[in-house]
Amino acid sequence: MDMALEQYVRKKLREKDILLMTHTVLGYPSLEDSFRIIETMVKAGVDLIELQIPFLEPIADGPVIRHANHAALKQGVCVKDCLDVAEQAARSFDIPFLFMTYYNIPFCFGVSQFVSAMAQRGLVGAIIPDLPVEDGHDYLQAMRDHGLSPIRMFSPTTSDGRMKKISSSAQGFIYCVARKGITGADTIFSHDVALYLKRCRRVSGLPLAVGFGIKDRDHVEFLKGKADIAVIGTRTIREVEEKGVASVGEFIRGLRA
């Protein structure tokens, strides 16, 4: 990727009314399958991909993604393995790839070394859901130094004042959690969600991504005109588990049909 993440998103939004970002846990079901899943998603037309580095206590994730994290770790998948697969993906496909993980991973790896490794391998940003806005100054500085986007998160319970503070340290886009809780549970896409996204739009000038509970075409359609990126995570992992890697492409294409 030769352009900044926000620039890429805004360029793509001139071509599409909403973008799709998918999620996969690296090393699940295997490292080889991870690359096949990524390839299948790209060929199906996704616009960005979030690559999760497995972690023992993924506190924001529901049972499906937790199981994928634990299974990958049980096979011995490590950060270096994830960096290698991410590099292969970033060098092979001309869409943005971001890491998603928990702060213990870059902290133990060495924050500046971790961010440098991301930049060297062609990633464009990272989502770290357990990093409060008050912390992680070394991480934010390293991301700025390397031209990478730290993705920050809003939730429906975040006050306007805190949203402004969060947005001030964000780049690329804002990840708007559609509801309080963990990934994978059902979300009711209702008037309340629409009002919440209006509030997010009013507070931040960055593009808005929405995740947690997006499972089908109707959910994606609901988000058109309210958000810029629909994030599909648990549902794609369940597709792999139930029907195999090839089914992921058909599922993703169906989201735009």
Q: Which residues are catalytic?
A: 50, 61
Name the burial class of residue 96, with classes exposed (0-12), middle (13-18) and buried (19+) by CB atoms within 10 angstroms of its CB: buried
Pull the structure tokens for residue 10: 């805004």
Report whether 106 contacts 142 (CB < 8 A): no
Given the DSSP bridges, would you call strands 174-177 and 229-232 parallel, antiparallel or unpaired? unpaired
Which residue is listed with tokens 């496909």? Answer: 93
Amino acid, res. 162: R
Identify the helix (H) or strand (E) that includes residue 209: strand 208-211
Helix, strand, or coil (residue 230): strand
Q: Largest Cα–Cα distance in the chain?
A: 45
Segment (H or E) for 159: none
Task: Name every residue whose Cβ is closer than 8 Å to that of residue 25 and which is 6 or more positions away in sequence.
Answer: 34, 52, 54, 65, 68, 69, 72, 237
